[in-house]
């Protein structure tokens, strides 16, 4: 039976590396900027495809005992040789990026991976732009993405550094034009003014192009008046004055005009917030509280409260205006009232009530209409009704009803269809796993493949052409709370299980920002929950994120763009 001595190979390579340092039995010399490094051809060839190709080719280096290497400094060459002889390397902030370049040059993928990961984990506001520049120069895709992500997420600090001052106008535009830039527009404006003024004679010709990427409508109006319009670079530019004129016209337009006309700028991702509305609190009361959750700050901010306390209501956004539909109150198990929220003014107002009262319903926006689907009425009868609201006419009307009556269902708009999923039906006296979809074009419902699990009180959302159904409960009298989640692919009409949540919950709320599904509150074992967690659709995993101010279930939520005036007031 063959036996192997423990650590034999490691000890042998350690001895050979000692031979290298002593110059013993070496057969090749690497001349690095005039400094000789003795080495063994067979070790270099065995450890590096670069040296193997060098020693086995017809090139002159194959015949000579001395090889000139001018692209590395001497310390990096010593680090490379140590790695080739021992497989180990000491990574520091001073050598990691140079080792990444050297490893790429010498076809050492494992060393490149180690050094790239080290650089990524040690990015700072002081070094990220330098790393980004090198990563772009050598086409290091993963490192480039990490450095770019760090720069965008830490813009306020990065823009104060020396490397920021050295950016070319093309590099600066690439940063400030990005939707994923995490910064207040005030910080963006002040950064381009500072960058321009550092070399005013050479850079003022670029200011118009830079200014065009400042999203003026998300600046507080007082800041525009007091700061932007008083800046000399702006005063002396016809292009900047024209942009300010368009911004003034936007602010002076009516809500209806703003809805009919596309705004001059899209919001940055960081200006997206999750509006959390109402629900049943742990203090055993229904609330009319409204708050906005800003993910990049991981904080909640109070807004003007709703006109009426409500739980198990529906929420939808149409052309920037939030509609809150139906639900239950302390006095009534189902209500007809509907109210809307205007984030620009942080105000609430009433609109036409539902044709039929409903709580536990699903509400979505599709096209030019808002649909309120299912739920239960004031006497507890589960509904299959579909009610459609026309925001322009302020009217509701009944549409073709669902095949099944459902309350506490999930309703999701996905491309040309609206899906009704799960819920509870008093026709069968247990939660449903069935799924059906509605075509607004034909006003007809179609049966779809059922879920893997029965669910009532789940929450659902649509992202990347898939519907995610999260949590919920199974049996009504002895609730089994799900942590399990599943995904529906409309194109193939199939369901797939995904990773379970960190905390099982039903009657929670879900909202999508970028590639993350944020889940808020809910209930488990009769206790309302504080927890907020998110599912990363790229990493396919859940992570606990933060806590609500107050534990709540039966709340509604949606994603809104937080206007500059509101952002300034709440911060």
Checking if the pLDDT of 5 tops 60, the result is yes
* Nearby residues of 487 by Cβ (< 8 Å), 6 or more positions away: 466, 467, 468, 469, 495, 496, 497, 498
Checking if the pLDDT of 259 tops 80, the result is no
In the chain, the percentage of residues whose pLDDT exceeds 70 is 93
What burial letters (b/e) apply to 302-321, b meaning 16+ CB within 10 Å? ebeebebbbbbbbbbbbeeb
| pLDDT one-digit tens code per residue, 208-258 | 999 999 999 888 888 999 999 999 999 999 999 999 998 888 878 765 665
Enumerate domains of the chain plus CATH numbers. Answer: 8-122 (3.30.710.10), 175-260 (1.25.40.420), 270-570 (2.120.10.80)
| pLDDT one-digit tens code per residue, 292-338 | 998 877 789 999 999 999 999 999 999 889 999 999 999 999 999 99
Burial of 407 (0-12, 13-18, 19+ CB in 10 A): buried
Checking if the pLDDT of 84 tops 70, the result is yes
Which pLDDT value is given to residue 164? 94
Which pLDDT value is given to residue 408? 97
> Higher-confidence residue: 12 or 469?
469
Q: Which of 463, 288, 321, 490 lies closest to 389, judged by CA? A: 321
Per-residue tokens: 125: 């506001």
pTM above 0.75, yes or no: no
Q: Where are the beta strands (DSSP E) in 33-116?
A: 35-39, 66-69
| pLDDT one-digit tens code per residue, 88-132 | 899 999 899 999 999 998 889 999 999 999 999 999 999 999 999
| pLDDT one-digit tens code per residue, 446-467 | 999 999 999 999 999 999 999 9
Phi, psi of 498 (to 5 degrees): -125, 180
Per-residue tokens: 535: 């599912």
Per-residue tokens: 333: 């198990």
Per-residue tokens: 499: 């990773």
């Amino acid at each position: 039976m063959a036996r192997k001595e423990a650590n034999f190979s490691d000890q042998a390579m350690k001895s050979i590396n000692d031979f290298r340092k002593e110059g013993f039995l070496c057969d090749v010399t690497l001349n690095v900027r005039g400094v000789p490094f003795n080495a063994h051809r067979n070790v270099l060839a065995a450890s590096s495809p670069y040296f193997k190709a060098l020693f086995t080719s017809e090139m002159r280096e194959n015949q000579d005992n001395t090889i000139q290497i001018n692209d590395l400094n001497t310390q990096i060459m010593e680090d490379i040789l140590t790695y080739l002889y021992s497989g180990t390397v000491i990574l520091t902030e001073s050598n990691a990026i140079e080792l990444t370049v050297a490893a790429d040059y010498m076809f050492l993928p494992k060393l490149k991976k180690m050094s790239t990961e080290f650089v990524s984990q040690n990015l700072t506001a002081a070094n990220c732009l330098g790393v980004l520049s090198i990563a772009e120069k050598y086409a290091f895709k993963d490192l480039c993405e990490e450095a770019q992500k760090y720069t965008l997420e830490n813009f306020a600090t990065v823009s104060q550094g020396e490397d920021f001052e050295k950016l070319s106008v093309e590099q600066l535009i690439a940063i400030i034009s990005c939707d994923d830039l995490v910064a207040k527009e005030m910080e963006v404006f002040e950064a381009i003014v500072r960058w321009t003024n550092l070399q005013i004679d050479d850079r003022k010709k670029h200011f118009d192009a830079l200014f065009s990427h400042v999203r003026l409508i998300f600046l507080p109006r007082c800041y525009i008046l007091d700061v932007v319009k008083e800046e000399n670079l702006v005063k002396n530019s016809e292009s900047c004055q024209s942009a300010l004129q368009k911004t003034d016209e936007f602010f002076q337009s009516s809500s209806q005009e703003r809805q009919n006309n596309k705004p001059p700028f899209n919001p940055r991702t960081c200006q997206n917030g999750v509006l959390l509305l109402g629900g049943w609190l742990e203090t055993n009361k229904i609330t009319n509280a409204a708050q906005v959750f800003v993910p990049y700050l991981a904080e909640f901010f109070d807004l003007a409260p709703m006109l009426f306390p409500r739980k198990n209501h529906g929420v939808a956004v149409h052309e920037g205006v939030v509609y809150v539909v139906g639900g239950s109150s302390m006095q009534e198990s189902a209500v007809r009232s509907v109210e809307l929220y205007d984030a620009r003014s942080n105000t609430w107002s009433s609109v036409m009530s539902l044709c039929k009262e409903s709580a536990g319903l699903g509400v979505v926006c599709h096209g030019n209409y808002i649909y309120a689907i299912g739920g239960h009425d004031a006497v507890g009868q589960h509904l299959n009704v579909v009610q459609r609201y026309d925001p322009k006419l302020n009217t509701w009307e009944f549409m073709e009803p669902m095949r099944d009556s459902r309350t506490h269902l999930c309703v999701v708009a996905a491309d040309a269809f609206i899906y009704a999923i799960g819920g509870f039906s008093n026709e069968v006296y247990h939660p449903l796993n069935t799924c059906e979809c509605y075509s607004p074009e034909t006003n007809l419902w179609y049966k779809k493949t059922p879920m893997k699990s029965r669910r009532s009180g789940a929450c659902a959302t649509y992202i990347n052409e898939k519907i995610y159904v999260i949590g919920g409960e199974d049996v009504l009298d002895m609730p089994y709370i799900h942590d399990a989640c599943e995904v529906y692919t409309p194109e193939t009409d199939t369901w797939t299980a995904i990773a379970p949540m960190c905390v099982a919950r039903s009657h929670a709320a879900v909202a999508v920002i970028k590639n993350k599904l944020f889940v808020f509150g809910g209930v488990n074992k009769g206790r309302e929950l504080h927890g907020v967690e998110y599912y990363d659709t790229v990493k396919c995993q859940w992570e606990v994120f933060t806590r609500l101010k107050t534990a709540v279930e039966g709340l509604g939520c949606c994603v809104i763009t937080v206007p500059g005036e509101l952002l300034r007031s709440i911060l």
